[in-house]
Structure 1
């Protein structure tokens, strides 16, 4: 797996609803764009060899980068697989929905929950929302949020874009009751 591009986006929210956000809300997204291992092969019955060739190395590449870019303790996280038009959604799903990939991020963040995900096929420059949830308790509603991402020239038709996102806190100015208390 030789990425064509690795990207890092850090977003900080300082004000929300006309009030300061304290502590500031930071979200870091790190992704890689690389050739689809199944491109040009037609329908592939067994995706496992390609998954095994890519997933762990990709998780090992992205997880420490997103933790470094966040530069704060992680409280929420998510993942994305965006597949170029010549691929199948299943190609990206196979890479991100296994422990070889996800455990790198879970271990780096001392997390215990499954990573929420988005998978979709689209042209270069497609926007997508990465869902984020609390890293140890999926029921904590303050951390249910999304971050929008767009990479102008990716993925090409025969590429896959895989990204991880982490946040240092829940939504700024959240004020919903605990789950089950409303």
Structure 2
């Protein structure tokens, strides 16, 4: 397949100092890299679509690098991640699933501590649709303090024949996280869980 046809890209960055309690010494940063591309499968059923994942891999790496840079440039400072896709109305949910490998592996390739599975979500929607992208600790899925989400979306995307692809990263736990469980500093990093 040809290289993905990009209509637009966006970066969304949040800096969170507190959630009603005391201000953190170091704020949490959450960021999302979004890209809107033409859906080459829109409008008809195609039995063979998996090859498009290879075409998306360079895009995933570019988005991951841009997001790391937007969050300060230090890949080792990234502690959480997630990914997602919004499929325009002329597509099908399986087209969003094409983002699993190129989106997830792009982040895992660039982040030094990233043994955990990259959580994901996808849905069908039109322009202005919002997506809650799940976030977990990048090296151990059982770290409760990093269970989070980031709401993303663009006012004019996706159009019916488009895909909106998203990567999300964070620099730490939820502000004021205090519900117990495995602590980030106790992660062994052996199995992606603990």
The verdict on a shared fold, with TM-score over 0.5 as the criterion, is yes
Match of 1:126 in 2: 129
Match of 2:80 in 1: 76
Match of 1:66 in 2: 67
Match of 2:185 in 1: none
Is it true that 1:43 corresponds to 2:79 in the alignment? no
- Stretches of structure 1 that go unaligned for 5 or more consecutive residues are none
| Alpha-carbon shift at residue 178 of structure 1 (Å) | 1.0
**Deviation digits for residues 28-82 of structure 1, max 9, x if unmatched?**
1111000002123x111111232332x2122122110111111151000000111
Match of 2:109 in 1: 107
Separation in 1 of the partners of 2:136 and 2:104? 14
1:34 aligned to which of 37, 46, 55? 37
Is it true that 1:162 corresponds to 2:184 in the alignment? no
- Paired positions, count: 175
- Stretches of structure 2 that go unaligned for 5 or more consecutive residues are 183-194
Separation in 2 of the partners of 1:50 and 1:118? 19
Partners of 1:142 and 1:170 within 8 A in 2: yes
- Relative to the length of structure 2, the TM-score reads 0.86
Aligned-residue CA RMSD (Å): 1.3
Secondary structure, aligned partner of 2:117: coil
More strand by share: 1
Separation in 2 of the partners of 1:147 and 1:49? 29
- Relative to the length of structure 1, the TM-score reads 0.91
Match of 2:187 in 1: none
